[in-house]
Amino acid sequence: MPRYYVIPKQLADAAPALGRLAQWLEAVGISFAFWILKRLSPERGSRIAAAVFRKLGPRTGKAKSVRRNMRVVFPDHNDEQIEDLCQQVFGQLGMATVELVKMRQLWAEREQRMEFVIAPQALAHLQAQRPTVFVTAHVGAWQLTNLISLHQDLTITTVYAAETNPTLHDLFLDLREAFGVKLLPTEDGVRPLMRELNAGNSIGLAMDNRLDSGSPIPFFGVDALTNTTAARLALGNAQAALIPIRAERLEPGYFRVNVYDPIISSDPNASKANQTLDMTRQINQHFESWIRETPEQWMCLKRRWPKPGKP
């Protein structure tokens, strides 16, 4: 479904020519912004982008979802605190944009800019070159989690949401190639992921967004439709491990990538369905911990929980 940044989607759908013009303007504007960012240091680019996004983001339609999500996470916060968090979220989104643009430079300067902290059981699994289902959330510098592929010399396929604007699709695809992973559009489904695991390779999934066909699993104490694909894939391959991975943004241009010990079923004798739900609950618990620690770094730009009064 086409997405637009400069005009409402309903207007673009009603006037296709206007929609095409909007996509052209988007491509020109974003390409020019990226051209500028490439010429700045990661630190300076991050600070400028954060200031711009912090100013403009709360005025967009996405801000409504951010505020609604934060009210679930922090039910005791007043409107002023929620609004402050909303501004910070968009500021962090600006930093994430710069990180995507500067990914090649960040990796080239990894000795100064990045720290990888890998838990013992996870390290043993990765060194054995066994298949892994990496799972993360859109928290902090989440895009940098892909760099575990280069750091550990792994073959990883990462699922991503392709841009519907053809020009922007090519632009973002070129930037994402710096991840060092194979890229799979979300619409390609689960079968290619199964093939990768069966071939002994690994996959990477961001699992904190709402999935309308998902299972209701508690998230911050409220049932939320949750994608269970990661747990199902890990359980479907005897050699695979389900491993959470998080990239912390310590300050502009500096990061820590944490790889946690594998998630295992609390009851290996339970049915696959119950083990899937149990392991997905554990994934959510990891995400809750990360978000509570740095709520301003959760890119919660889509509605995560049902609207009041709806299932």
Tens of pLDDT along 89-105? 999 999 999 999 999 99
State yes or no: pLDDT of 143 exceeds 60.
yes
Output the pLDDT for position 2: 47
pLDDT band at 19 (very low <50, low <70, confident <90, very high): low
Tell me what pLDDT residue 1 has.
39
pLDDT band at 23 (very low <50, low <70, confident <90, very high): confident
Percent of the chain with pLDDT over 90: 83
Mean pLDDT of the chain: 92
Q: Average the pLDDT over each of 164-168, 181-185, 193-197 and give the range with the smallest value.
A: 164-168
Least confident of 11-25, 57-71, 130-144: 11-25
Examine the pLDDT at 156 and tell me if it is beyond 50: yes
- Rounded to whole angstroms, the Cα distance separating 289 from 41 reads 31
Q: Residue 124 pLDDT more than 50?
A: yes
pLDDT for 307: 76
pLDDT band at 169 (very low <50, low <70, confident <90, very high): confident
Percent of the chain with pLDDT over 70: 93
- Span 255-265, average pLDDT: 98
Average of pLDDT values for 271-295? 98
Q: What is the mean pLDDT of residues 218-229?
A: 96
pLDDT at 12: 56
